[in-house]
Amino acid sequence: MSDVVNSEQTDRRSVEERREQLIDAAIQVLATEGLGRATTRNITEQANLALGAFHYAFRSKDELLESVIERVVSATERVLQDAAEDVRDEPNRAIARMLEEFWEFIDETPDLQLAQYELTVHALRNPKMRRLAVDQHRRYTAAIRGVLDQVPGSPEGQEAEDLARYIVATMDGLVLHRLVEEDVEAGRRRLTLHQTALQSLVEGHTGEQNSMVG
């Protein structure tokens, strides 16, 4: 009986290991060669697996791409959520700290970011996958709102939603420019400008709120 259980556990672990290998390989192929070259053959070769191993781990290439999107979104979401935890003792620097921690992640994972852009466009063009692109931005927005909630006097309700979505949109642009330019220092300088602009935006809103109360 124990031999059967151990065999089942090994098989499950083997499937999970292969799935992770294929996700890693897909990200690498997407980042270096683009979606057009992300065939099951190229991905399995990148993973150093036999072609048959692909269908042992995934039912289709779209299922693999969905897993890649989930990997990217979950990683980014964790960074933003961790930032929300880190800023509780210094709420006045919440936005700046969030962007700093997020940008460290960007600098460490350029391949992941490039793969994300490839897949977001692919998902938007595929009716069956479009929900993944929508959900991606919804989750980023929710994570950023978690940071904004730590800032005294920050917007609430629809204004908070709009500000969070604005931050997602502007950071998308900064990340894409960082990937195009490949200049780490220049990217940091633009991040600093963005931090200053956002801080002024939030402080301006806080000032308006205080004057209304007064």
Can you give the CATH number for the domain in which 8 is found?
Answer: 1.10.10
- Determine the pLDDT at residue 112: 86
Same domain, 70 and 146: yes
- Given a cut of 60, is residue 56 above it in pLDDT? yes
Same domain, 84 and 181: yes
Domain assignment of residue 44, given as a range: 1-58
What end-to-end distance do the CA atoms of the chain give, in Å? 74
The C-alpha angle with vertex 50 and arms to 48 and 52, in degrees rounded to 5, equals: 145
Same domain, 46 and 148: no
| Predicted model pTM | 0.80
Range of weakest confidence among 32-41, 76-85, 88-97, 118-127: 88-97
Can you give the CATH number for the domain in which 64 is found?
Answer: 1.10.357.10
Concatenating the DSSP letter of every residue in 6-47 gives: HHHHHHHHHHHHHHHHHHHHHHHHHHHH-GGG--HHHHHHHT
Same domain, 124 and 180: yes
- Determine the pLDDT at residue 139: 92
Same domain, 118 and 157: yes
Q: How far apart are CA 148 and CA 199, in angstroms?
A: 11
Number of domains present in the structure of the chain: 2
